[in-house]
């Protein structure tokens, strides 16, 4: 095996391992209530900066892999 091929294979393995670890960390963090709250807070700030008025995102539940639910923030509908 040439040195160049060895470097390419080692680089590919290192990149793949780094990607897998990053994906695993994201999945593990978003499975906790703390992680879901951080995602909710981040999304609320990003979306609120692009619209006029006020917007609230309720609690996030479920799993990001199998099904996610976003609760409304608890406002009553006008009667």
- The pLDDT of residue 74 is 58
Give residue 77's pLDDT. 47
Domain assignment present for 75:
no
pLDDT given at position 6: 94
Q: Is residue 58 part of a domain?
A: yes
- The answer to whether residues 71 and 58 touch, using CB atoms and an 8 Å cutoff, is yes
How many domains does one find in the chain?
1
- pLDDT tens per residue across all 79 residues of the chain: 899 999 999 999 999 999 999 998 888 878 888 888 888 888 888 888 888 877 778 888 877 777 777 877 655 545 4
Domain around 24: 3-70
Q: Note whether 41 and 57 are within 8 A (CB).
A: no
The answer to the question of residue 77 being in a domain is: no
């Amino acid at each position: 095996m040439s040195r160049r091929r060895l470097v390419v294979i080692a680089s590919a393995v290192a990149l793949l391992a780094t990607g897998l670890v990053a994906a695993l960390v994201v999945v593990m963090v978003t499975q906790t209530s703390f992680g879901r709250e951080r995602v909710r807070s981040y999304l609320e700030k990003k979306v609120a900066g692009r619209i006029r008025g006020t917007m609230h995102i309720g609690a996030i539940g479920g799993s990001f892999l199998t099904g996610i639910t976003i609760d409304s923030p608890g406002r009553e509908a006008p009667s």
